Amino acid sequence: MLRRLLTEQRGYSAVDAVTGLVLFALSLVSVYQVMIPSFAMWRNSDERIARQQDVRLAMDRMSRDLRESTLALNRLRAYNCAGPSANQNCSAIGFVTARDSNCDGNFQLTGSADPNWQAVIYVWFDPASLELRRRCDTSTTLPVTTWPPVLTPSTVIGRRIILMAFTLLPVGNPNPTSVAIAIREQATTASRPTYRYQTNFYNQTVFLPRN
Amino acid sequence: MLRRALTRDERGLALIAVLVMTILATGIGIAMVGLMNTDLTHAGVQHAKARSFYIAMAGLEDAKAQVFASANPVAYATSPGGVTASFGDGQYTYWVDAGPAAGGCGAGSGLKTLESTGQVGYLAFTISSRVRACGVPGAPFLTAMFGVSLVEAQGSTSRTYVAPYLVGTPGTPRGGHIGSFTEINFSDSGLRLNALSEQGIEYVMVRDPSGSGVISIEDYRLFGFTSRPIYETNPSVDPLPWILFAFGDIVKGQPNTGPLTNRCSPYTPYACVTTGNAPSPADITSIYELRYTDNMRHAYMNSMPQSVLPRLCNDPNLPNFCLDRDEYRTQAYNNTANAPLNTAAGLAAKTYPGAIYTPAEFTQVVNYLASNCPTQCLQGTVYIDTTLAGNCDAGNSAGCFQFNQNVNLGGNTGDVTLAVGGDLVMNGNIVVTNRHDLTTAAGRQTPGILVFGMPAPRRGSSNVCRGETSNGSGRLILCGGSGQILIADGMLFTADGMFIGAQGSLDLIGAMYHEHRDPSNPSYTNQNSTVVVRFDPLALSIFQSGIAIVSWQQLR
C-alpha cells in the first residue's frame, strides 16, 4: 500500500511538475501580455527622450558657433532654400567663426577687440544619410556664394534627421537680425508600429549672432 | 497525513511561482526605470546647461547696466571677486576689468572687458556657463558718421570712405557705420561711397603717418585690400574679391525718446534712405535696392539695419549724453600749459584766462603756430569764445572763427581739443591739422574738434562761402578748394552740422557726430569733396555714457 502510494506520489509529482511548469509559463506569458504596453511605453519614452536629446544636442553643437558669428553681409549665407521667401527653409548654412584650431580653439580678437575671423563653418542636412553634418573650412573667412563648397572632411552632429530648415529672420527682410533653425528627427521603427505614440520630434530655436 | 503533507507542498509550489514572477517583474521594472532615469538625467543636465547660459547672459546685461549707470564708464571696474547675485533658480557673478576679466580685451587698449558666469544646481552638480564681451566704455553706440538730421552727399565728384582705423585684413574690422535719425540722401548717381578704385586706381590724400604733411595712397588700402578689386558691370554683383563685407552699415536710427519727422512718403519712424531731390521720396530698404534699383552704382555699404539709439544732445531727458560746452570751457580756463606760447605769440595779456581765446587772439596764436609748430605747439583743451566778436566777415560779427592759413595746432602727436563757442570756418585751400598721439588709449579718446556754437545764436547771419552762412549756431564749414584739407583725430562734434565744400578734403581718425539746432539744417553735407574717416570707436568715449559692445564670445 505504501509502495503503491509512493509510486502514485512519483507519478503525481511528475504530472504536477509539468502542470506547474505549464501554469508557470502561462502565468509568465500572461504577465508579459499585461506588461507589453508598459514595455512599449518604456521603449517609446526612452526613444523619445533619446531623440529629443539628439535634437537638443544638435542645436547645442550649433548654438555657440552661431551666437559667436555675425550677420554682416557675405559673412553668413544660407543655401538650398525652399522658400517661399528668400533665405527661408534652407537646408544648409555657412558662417564665419573667430575660433582657431579647426574652429574649436580660442576666440581670436583684432587689436581693436573685434572678432578676428579665422574660418567658415558649414552645417548642412544630408538627405541620403539623414544626417546633419558640420565642416570647418580654415582656408577662407567668406562662405561660398553657391552651394556646395568642399564638404570633406566633416563630422556628424545629428542623425535620423528628416527635416532641417535654416531661415534668416525677419523672413524676406534684406537686413536679417537672427537665424531660426528647425530640426525634425525620426524615431526608430522598432518603437512605432504597434502603439500610436509620437514618432518624430521637432525643435525650433532662434539664434542671434552677436558679433 | 502524507496526503495532507503533499497538499501543503502544492500550496508551497504556487507561492514560489508567484514569488519568482514578482521578482522578475520587479527586476524588469527597476531596469526600465533605471534606464529612463539615466536619459532623464542627461536631459536634465542639458536643460540646466541652457539655464546657466541665460543666467550668465543676465549677468552680462547687469554688468553693462552698471557700466552704463556709472558716472565714469571709462574708469568703472568691479572688485576682483566680482559681483554675485541670485537670478532665477541660479546665480551669476560678473566682473568688469577685474578678476578673470582683467585684460581680456587687451590691457591698456582703452576697451572694457565684461565677463559673467551663470551657475545652476542640478542634483549634486553645479552646471555653469561663462560669456565675455569687449566694449567701448562711454560710447552709447558705434557709428563713424552720425547726423541727427539730414546726412547727404551731393554732386557727382563727392567721394566718401568710411574705413576702420586699426585695419587688418579686409573686413576685420569692418568699416564704420553711417547713421541718422532723419534721412540719409544720395543726390547724384555719380557720387562715390566706399568705391575702391572702381574705374582705375584712385588715390586719396591722408596725413603722413611718419611726420608732417600729407601723402597719397591707393584708396583700397584704407580697408586692408592689397590690390584693386575687380569690378563687374552688373551692379547687383559684388566686386571680386567680395568687398561689401568690409564696409559698415547705413544705420536708420530712431531716438529712444521717440521718432523724429522726415520727408519720406510713406512716413517711416526710423531714418529713411533716399536718392535724388524729390520732395517726398520713398524709403530705400537695402543696399541692393540703393545700388541696383535706384542706380547708385558707386555706393558700397554692407546693410541697412534699423536701430533705436539714444539721442545724445538736445534732449532734456538725457542730460548725461550731451557734450557740455561749459565743461570744455572750464577745462580751457584751467589749462595753463599754453602760457609760454601765449607770451611768445604776443598775448601776455588776454581777454580770458587760461586757454580761452577771442577770435582775434586765436588768429595771433595761429600766426605763431604757423611758424613754430611742431617745435612749440598748443597743448590740452583750448576754447575760442566768439561772443564778443568774430573774424569771418568784414564786420567781425560775433559767433564765428575762421582759419585763414595753414596751421598745425598740436604737432604730430599732440593732445589738443579745439572747442569753439560759435561757428568754425576753414577758408579755402588751406591745411589745418590737429593730430593726437594715437599710440595710447588716452590719445585716441581725446576729442579733436568740438563746435558748440554760442548759447544763443545771433539774429541774422553772415555769408561765409558757397552759400553757407554763419550765426554762431555751431556749424563747421570747410570752404573747399583743391588745396584744402582738414586733418583731425578724435571726435569731431558740431551742434549745428558740418559742410564740406567742393574739392575740399577731410582726413579724420576717430568719429563724427552732428546735431542740429534747426530741423531744416542738414547735419552733414559733402558737396563734391573727398572725405576719409578711419573709424576709431574710442573717439566715442567722449560721451561718457553707456558701453558699446564690439565682440562677444562664449567661454564655456
This model of the complex carries an ipTM of 0.86
d(CA B534, CA B492): 12
A198 within some domain: yes
All three cell numbers of B400: 564765428
d(CA A65, CA A74): 16
Which member of B46, B285, B287 has the closest CB to residue A56?
B46
How many CB atoms lie under 10 A from the CB of residue B327?
12
How many CB atoms lie under 10 A from the CB of residue B69?
12
Identify whether the C-beta of residue B382 lies closer than 8 Å to the C-beta of residue B357: yes
d(CA A97, CA A116): 8
All three cell numbers of B374: 611742431
List chain B residues with CB under 8 Å of A64: 554
A159 within some domain: yes
Which residues, numbered 115 to 144 in chain A, qualify as contacts with chain B under a Cβ-Cβ cut-off of 8 Å? 115-117, 141-142
Q: Which residue, chain included where needed, has cell 583684432?
A: A110
A162 within some domain: yes
List chain B residues with CB under 8 Å of A20: 13, 17
Question: What is the reported pLDDT for B281?
Answer: 93
Q: Where are the alpha helices (DSSP H) in B252-349?
A: 287-288, 325-333, 339-344
A28 within some domain: no
**Interchain proximity B173–A114, CB inside 8 Å:** yes
Task: For chain B, say whether A22 makes contact (Cβ under 8 Å).
Answer: no
CA distances A204 to A50, A163, A179, Å, are 17, 11, 10
Number of domains in chain A: 1
Classify the C-alpha dihedral B11-B16-B17-B19 as positive or negative. Answer: positive
Distance, in angstroms, between B230 CA and closest chain A CA?
A: 16
CA distances B427 to A121, B182, B203, B276, Å, are 53, 29, 24, 29
Question: What is the reported pLDDT for B5?
Answer: 53
Which of the residues in chain A have pLDDT under 50? none
Write out the E strands in B427-504. 431-434, 449-451, 462-465, 468-470, 476-478, 485-494, 498-500
Interface test with A, best of B551, B552, B554, B555 (most A CBs within 10 A): B551
Which member of A52, A74, A117 has the closest CB to residue B244?
A74
All three cell numbers of B524: 552733414
A34 within some domain: no
Say which amino acid occupies B320. Answer: N
B154-172 pLDDT, tens per residue? 999 999 999 999 998 899 8
Which member of A68, A141, A174 has the closest CB to residue B552?
A68
Question: What is the reported pLDDT for A198?
Answer: 60
d(CA B4, CA B196): 110
Helix (H) or strand (E) holding B506: strand B505-514
Query: In terms of residue numbers, what domain contains A104?
Result: 46-207
Say what the pTM is: 0.87
Question: What is the reported pLDDT for A1?
Answer: 56
Interface size between A and B, measured as CB pairs under 8 A: 138
**Interchain proximity A20–B111, CB inside 8 Å:** no
B212 — phi, psi (to 5°)? -75, 165
CA A64 centroid distance within chain:
17
Which of the residues in chain B have pLDDT under 50? 318-319
Identify whether the C-beta of residue B251 lies closer than 8 Å to the C-beta of residue B178: yes
List chain A residues with CB under 8 Å of B171: 72, 75, 117, 141
**Interchain proximity A72–B46, CB inside 8 Å:** no
Residues 6+ apart with CB under 8 A from B343: none
Strands B306-309 vs B250-255: parallel, antiparallel or unpaired: parallel
d(CA B531, CA B480): 11
d(CA B350, CA B384): 12
**Interchain proximity B46–A75, CB inside 8 Å:** no
Angle, in degrees to the nearest 10, between helices B2-69 and A2-67: 10
**Interchain proximity B286–A175, CB inside 8 Å:** yes
B195 — phi, psi (to 5°)? -85, 100
All three cell numbers of A210: 552677436
Task: For chain B, say whether A68 makes contact (Cβ under 8 Å).
Answer: yes
